Amino acid sequence: MGSASAENVYKQQNNNSAGSAGSGSEDNVWSSILSEVRSNASVKLPSGRAVVVLGHPESGKTTLVAKLQGIEDPKKGSGLEYTYIEIRDEYREDTTHLSVFTLDGDKAHFPLLTFALNTSTLTSTTILLTVSMSTPWLILEQLQDWAGLLHDHVDSLKIPPDEVKTLREGVLRRWLSYQEPLGDGEGDISGLVQGGGVGIEEMVADEGVLVRNVGVDIVVVVTKTDHMTTLEREENYREEHFDFIQFHVRRFCLNYGASLFYTSVKEDKNCDLLYKYLVHRVYGGTNNFKTPALVVEKDAVFIPSGWDNLKKMSILHESMSSIDPESYYNDVILRPVHKTVRSEGRNVAEVEVEDEQLFLERQMGILTLGGGGGAVGGSVGKGKTPASDKRQTSGGGGSSISGGVTTGGITTPKKGEQCTDRVLANFFNSLLTNKKSGGGGGSGPSSANTSLSGTDC
């Protein structure tokens, strides 16, 4: 028993002495791995981050948010809608919720934005401005409208001047910190300062960057780019029209320091890329975003914040042979005459439809007026015609006609079928007259009586 115990001690001593040579390096490797795991485990995805989606009605806001959520059947609400996108960090095995506030396109609901964007949430919120390629003639106008409303809202928050300066410097810093991914696809969207240490003042003055700095990150999303083929087929759009649109939208993004996405939920273009970019921008490097700017495909453009400048935009001028790039936007991108206001997502005044029974009573009154100022029977005023009130014909022997009006108050023609045709013709003429004059229910019989009074029946 004692010899076995001694043998075990001897083997343990030999094992310790054999491993002593490499123990130092192995201990260092394991220590570094353990420390890395410990540090990653202590860093959780930040909570309280949010995205606010703005845009006119029918700009694709609800469908876009549902696509980012992975939902097949989006539900459209009103006012200020709230939902969330589940963000998963596979490296840390952590999840969090990115809050999404979608504001109704009705500008009357704009004051509700205070509940989503206020002094306590301004630094942790990203703005999505959505416009639709289905109505390209409204794109620039809508972008300017919502950007102006956003600027006014931020100004109304009464933020101290030093905090406003900090917010705007943060947007500038994120713009200037963009680093182009390497040619082999490796690299990161954040990192070194672009431009070789060019000062912020020089960058703004020379490039027109962030001349309208709101103090919050903005992503412009042009939705429904699948409509480009429809515009080419039905509205005779050419390549230079789409380049003209892109040029003006990119210049808008340059002024506000915004990123730009062309997306199509229908054809699933750039939707996943938008999700990854939002995660990267909102959570700061939680995923390795390596996609460079995409400007080759006209319906799948992606321009990250910090990449663009006026020199790169000037390349679009080459395709505009018959269009001046500096032209007023709506002088080139015209509103089609056949497009209705409702189809463009604008609010229109509701027109009250005349009650069906009143309409029928008015038409019955017109039919029962025979021409010589005959009065409408009392039963007509109630929308009913007595069974005894039957139209008489001139050839019906035994019929009693007195002054062209029967005892039931229904006018009787004196000249048979010819007069009947005249009454019908006057009836339809009276409809056209009433429609043009805008006469409502109740005035129909009197106006019809006037129009029929000159007949020879």
CA dihedral over 389, 390, 393, 395, signed as positive or negative = negative
Alpha-carbon 326 to chain mean position: 26
User: Would you state the torsion angle of the CA atoms of residues 320, 324, 325, 329, taken in this order, to the nearest 10 degrees?
Assistant: -120
pLDDT in tens, 210-245: 999 999 999 999 999 999 999 999 999 999 999 999
Cα separation, 405 vs 391, in Å, equals: 10
50-344 homologous superfamily: P-loop containing nucleotide triphosphate hydrolases (3.40.50.300)
H/E stretch holding 86: strand 80-89
Residue 355, number of CB atoms within 10 A of its CB: 10
Q: Which residues of the chain have pLDDT under 70?
A: 1-27, 34, 36-43, 90-93, 182-206, 285-288, 338-351, 370-421, 432-457
- The pLDDT value given to residue 317: 92
- The pLDDT value given to residue 18: 46
Please check whether residue 85 is in contact with residue 10, taking contact to mean a CB–CB distance below 8 angstroms: no
- The pLDDT value given to residue 422: 72
Mention every residue, 6+ apart, whose C-beta is less than 8 A from residue 336.
137, 235
Cα separation, 299 vs 312, in Å, equals: 18
Please check whether residue 59 is in contact with residue 132, taking contact to mean a CB–CB distance below 8 angstroms: yes
- The pLDDT value given to residue 26: 58
- The pLDDT value given to residue 396: 42
Stated pTM of the model:
0.65
Residue carrying structure tokens 């463009």: 344
And the tokens for 6? 């001694």
Please check whether residue 219 is in contact with residue 258, taking contact to mean a CB–CB distance below 8 angstroms: yes
- The pLDDT value given to residue 128: 97
Residue 211, number of CB atoms within 10 A of its CB: 12
At 455, give phi and psi (nearest 5°): -75, 160
- The pLDDT value given to residue 228: 96
The structural domains of the chain, with segments of one domain joined by +, span 50-344, 358-452
- The pLDDT value given to residue 436: 53
